[in-house]
Amino acid sequence: MKQTYFTPGPAELYPTLYQHLQTAMDEQIGSISHRSQKFRDIYKFTDQQLRTLLTIPDTHGIFFTGSASEVWERVLFNCVEHESFHLVNGSFSRKFYDYANSLHKFAHLHEKPFGEGFDYADVEVPEYAELICLTHNETSSGVQMRTGDIHKLKRKYSKKLVVVDMVSSAPYPDLDFSVIDSAFFSVQKAFGMPAGLGVWIASQACLDKAERLQKYENLTVGAHNTLPTLWSHYKTFETPATPNVLFIYLLGKIAEDFNKIGIDTIRKQTEEKARMLYKFLDASDAYSPFVKQDRHRSQTVIVATTQKPSADVISNVKQAGMVVGTGYGKFKESQIRIANFPAVSIEQVDTLINQLQK
Ligand SMILES: *Cc1c(COP(=O)(O)O)cnc(C)c1O
């Protein structure tokens, strides 16, 4: 039986993906040179669609990597000489922090328990931290940080660079790139594509920092996909290494589809579906929303504590043709995670709620 995937990545494929994939095959995208005009046109198109979708100004470049976790390493290598600062409240934000330690950065940690979120007023950033590392949507626990709070943090610490992991929420968060220096995501979450491409948005200020580290501090910024190399190739819409041309093409097409609907509509639909899910969970005896504070509840990954073992719930919805995610880590058996990405419609969410009720 064909299933609807409510899993938080890989997730349900966006409905138009099949057609775009067919077109890409017909146009032999898989065989074109990444040094050809045809590729440069594809990169340029995807760049423009993402700029429109996320309101990215000319001060920022858009680069492609193998995955989002690759960007954790890239941004730490390129934007931190000594010290980074991390807000950690779950497994993904924790991994970002772990990467900093692995790269021998002095990583400051501000941690909250699983299921809790951060507010602007909670956060004190140490004086010498150069990069503030934030996770907009903590996929493991279903906690979100409000973009208003992210912007306030940057305004308070305007000399520091701010990078936002928006992997399991983009394009939902209305980040203001006139203040935010960098953000990144991968395509197998809310863009509804198979896994295999990371997208890194970084400002001129990030580039300046990387160049300074390279030239004057005699520090390595890595060898692969360094920001200065990515940027110099980006000027002609090329990439240092042979990229995932097919996925760059598909991403441009999906972003174009999102733009046709309009980002405001996509955000409203996301909020509408999230409202339906939380309302159901709040009223139900069999489930409860894991995240208690309304303002920290994720709009894109909804985590529920289940009365019954989560395996029973998962198999119940599976029989009706739907797949929901397990809880993360030690919550595997007591929670489910429901992705609320643009690929699933209001009707599909309604069907899921009906089945969860049974
Ligand atoms: C999935 C995810 C990542 C890692 O993405 P990959 O594409 O697997 O590298 C990082 N951060 C968050 C918040 C995620 O949900």
73 CB near ligand 1 (under 6 Å): no
Q: Residues 24-44: what's their mean pLDDT? A: 98
This prediction has a pTM of: 0.98
Angle at 150 between CA 125 and CA 183, to 5 degrees: 100
> Which of 9-18, 209-218, 228-237, 273-282 is the least confident region?
209-218
CA–centroid distance, residue 6 to ligand 1 (Å):
16
69 CB near ligand 1 (under 6 Å): yes
17 CB near ligand 1 (under 6 Å): no
- Of 7, 65, 69, the one to substitute when testing ligand 1's pocket (max ligand atoms within 8 A of C-beta) is 69
Residue 218 confidence class, pLDDT cut points 50, 70, 90: confident
CA atoms within 13 A on the CB side of 82: 5
Q: Per the structure block, which two tokens stand in for 188? A: 């197998």
What value does the CA radius of gyration of the chain take, rounded to a whole number of Å?
A: 20
Ligand 1 atom nearest residue 71's Cα: 9
In tens, the pLDDT along 78-129 reads 999 999 999 999 999 999 999 999 999 999 999 999 999 999 999 999 999 9
Q: Per the structure block, which two tokens stand in for 10? A: 């890989």
Could you tell me if 79 and 210 are in contact, meaning their C-beta atoms sit under 8 angstroms apart? yes
- Of 87, 139, 303, the one to substitute when testing ligand 1's pocket (max ligand atoms within 8 A of C-beta) is 139
Tell me how far the alpha carbon of residue 349 is from its chain's centroid. Answer: 21
Q: Per the structure block, which two tokens stand in for 92? A: 């993904």
Residue ranges and CATH numbers for the domains of the chain are 4-11+263-357 (3.90.1150.10), 17-260 (3.40.640.10)
pLDDT of residue 209: 98
Q: In what order do the strands lie in the sheet with 335-339?
A: 4-6, 322-326, 335-339, 301-306, 287-289
What is the longest distance spanned by two Cα atoms in the chain?
A: 64
- Of 186, 328, 341, the one to substitute when testing ligand 1's pocket (max ligand atoms within 8 A of C-beta) is 186
pLDDT of residue 173: 98
How far, in Å, are 9, 75, 138, 189, 313 from residue 291 at the CA level?
20, 29, 11, 21, 19
186 CB near ligand 1 (under 6 Å): yes
Cis amide linkage into residue 10, ω under 30° from 0: yes
Could you tell me if 336 and 306 are in contact, meaning their C-beta atoms sit under 8 angstroms apart? yes
CA–centroid distance, residue 176 to ligand 1 (Å):
21
pLDDT of residue 265: 98
Ligand 1 atom nearest residue 301's Cα: 15
Q: Residues 295-299: what's their mean pLDDT? A: 98
Ligand 1 atom nearest residue 72's Cα: 10
CA–centroid distance, residue 321 to ligand 1 (Å):
26
In whole angstroms, give the CA distance from residue 131 to residue 259. 31
In whole angstroms, give the CA distance from residue 353 to residue 344. 13
Residue 157 confidence class, pLDDT cut points 50, 70, 90: very high
Report the run of H or E that residue 132 belongs to, with start and end.
Answer: strand 131-135
165 CB near ligand 1 (under 6 Å): yes
pLDDT at residue 217 greater than cutoff 80: no
